[in-house]
Structure 1
Amino acid sequence: MLEEIDLRVQKLMRMVNQQTLRHLDGSSYRVATKSSYNDLVTTIDRQNEQAIDRQLREIDPGCRILSEEGFGDQQINDLAGHVWIVDPLDGTLNFVKQHNHFGIMLALYVDGYPTLAYIMDAVNQDLYHGGNGWGVFKNDQRLAGPINANLHDSLIAISSSLVLDDVANLAQVARQASGLRMYGSAAMEMIGVLNGELGAYVSHLKPWDLAAGRVLAEELGLTVKSIDDNGISVLSSNLVLVATKRAGQDILDRTD
């Protein structure tokens, strides 16, 4: 059953991405703010989410859906059964301002187990997918996993507010790395760690920001931990580290 679900969701991701790319000129959608002037939502976020949620219910009958813009199930307090976590347009500010560096993310958790995930690099039209012991793929090519680099030898991504406010000593962590990158999209930063462009990514992540990247990172044997080491719940917000084993330990040693 999971094999059929997987193939159908891959097709769904590509379909939704094609629909998204048709709107890159900015003339065919509306923009609103959420919590602040730089926390945006567009009509494309909402259209994508409605299309994804509708198709997931056909692909995986009986599933429950936690999705960012609220078109899924209203109350999800546990991960019993099949639970899909949906980010219909990650990096909305980038989508609006740059027309680049944004993605779409889905993840399936089965009875709490991180099972399948999909991250679409929208503009490059590359789909990262896998889980369930099958490995991780970029389109049809299986990823070997990144080199286990340490912090000093790695480029790392940390959310700008965490560095500016020096949360958990992360400004010092940034100085210890080869360089600091800020992409403004969990999808793109997760991809960076998966393909070895980044040695680590640290951010405060909501369920839809974390769920897919966690599945794929753990499938590759990468570190996925909360900075305070209190465990991670994909039903809540977390200050999360995704990294190679060596870079991850270097960062944790500096954030104690």
Structure 2
Amino acid sequence: MINIERLHQNVTTWLKTSRQRVLALMNDPLTVATKSNRNDLVTNVDRTNQQFLIGQIQAAYPDARIEGEEGKDQKTKSLDGLVFFVDPIDGTMNFVKEHNYFAIMIGVYVDGKPVYGAIMDVMHDTIIAGGHGFAMRANDTRLPALADEPLAAGLIGLNGPMHAHNRLAVADIGMASSGVRMIGSAGMTFADIAQGALIGYISYLQPWDVAAALAILGHAGVIFSRPDGSQLDLLTPGIVVAATPQAHQTIMTMMNDAATN
């Protein structure tokens, strides 16, 4: 089994160095391209940062598989053994337009099981980390246990298009909560859940968007599922429902009612 303490030290070092590199590159003109649509952006910083992180991972864990967001050469078809999920800039639109509210994420899995995750809030210099036998923390200060409250008692993060079209009753779910937040970054949204600011999150996510959070929050009591209640498959993208238990149960009931009516 991988040494979690040593892994945490390694990832923390990589993320801190990565943060400094990203901040330095932000002072230069960005090269921005689109991927699947005009709002799905990639920059030279995404690519450069991924190359840096992959190099660090390969040097420390040469047998690891790596699933990176940028580049078809960094795709894995198996979760056997040690697998790192890397999102070099999560919330690229925020990065380009606001220079704020974006994250760097690393999730680590062994034989398909989440063992460790880290989310770097770049502009606030905060690393949210946690995993199997490794208590959730912010910059190595342990975070309090998450409250298990009803959906009506908490704020929820939602996907914009899903909310606009009330897909899977997402707009209704938002109305049933204390309020809706759309941050534009899965990592930043999950970081807010870890710190007790949000009660849940619903969005269409790629594996690298959710891998770190599943390792951090899944071991802290947050339930992750597909809308039909099935477990996540980190080899394929899909809609993710993540929430504390009471809220998750309410969300599942509302989604099921919407699907059958």
Give runs of ≥4 in structure 1 deviating > 6 Å. none
Aligned pairs for 1:32-43 within 5 A:
32-43=33-44
8 Å CA contact 1:117–1:212 kept in 2: the answer is yes
Distance in 2, Cα, partners of 1:232 & 1:170: 19
Could you tell me which residue of structure 2 aligns to residue 50 of structure 1? 51
CA contact (8 A) 1:49 1:71 kept: no
Q: How do 1:75-114 residues align onto structure 2 when only pairs under 5 Å count?
A: 76-114=76-114
Unaligned runs of 5+ in 1: none
| SS of structure 1 residue aligned to 2:11 | helix
Contact 1:151 1:178 in 2 (8 A): yes
Aligned to 2:259: none
Question: Which consecutive residues of structure 2, in runs of 5 or more, have no partner in the other structure?
Answer: 257-261
Alignment-derived partner of residue 130 in structure 2: 130
d(CA) in 1 for partners of 2:130 and 2:174?
30
TM-score by length of 1: 0.96
Matched residue, 1:60: 61
CA distance in 2 between partners of 1:254 and 1:171 (Å) = 11
Compute the displacement of 1:253 (Å): 1.1
Report SS of the residue matched to 1:156: strand
**What is the aligned partner in structure 1 of residue 25 from structure 2?**
23
The 8 Å contact of residues 53 and 71 in structure 1, kept in 2 or not, is answered as no
* RMSD of aligned alpha carbons: 1.2
Q: Secondary structure at the match of 1:6?
A: helix
SS at match of 1:135: strand
Alignment of 1:204-219 (within 5 A): 204-219=204-219
SS in 1 for 2:20: helix
SS at the partner of 1:189?
helix
SS in structure 1 opposite 2:25?
coil
**Alignment partner of 1:228: what SS?**
coil
Equivalent AA in structure 2 for residue 160 of structure 1: G
TM-score between the two structures when normalised by the length of structure 2: 0.94
How far did 1:36 drift? 1.2
**How far did 1:219 drift?**
1.3
Native 8 Å contact 1:106 1:211 kept in 2 = yes
CA contact (8 A) 2:130 2:217 kept: no
Matches within 5 A, 1:177-216: 177-216=177-216
State the Cα distance separating 1:231 from its structure 2 match: 1.9
Q: Retained in 2: the 8 A contact 1:145–1:195?
A: no
Quote the offset at 1:230 in angstroms.
Answer: 2.5
1:115-194 superposed matches below 5 A: 115-194=115-194
